[in-house]
Amino acid sequence: MTRLHWFKSSYSGTEGDNCVEVAVAQLSVHVRDSKDTERPPFSVSPHAWARFIEHAAAD
CA 21 to chain centre: 4
- Lateral strand order in the sheet of 20-24: 7-8, 20-24, 29-33, 42-44
Q: What is the pLDDT of residue 1?
A: 52
Which residues have CB under 8 Å from 35's CB, separation 6+? 17, 18, 19
pTM to 2 decimals?
Answer: 0.78
* Residue-wise pLDDT tens digits, 9-40: 777 766 656 788 999 999 999 999 888 888 99
Residue spans of the domains in the chain: they are 20-58
Q: What is the pLDDT of residue 3?
A: 86
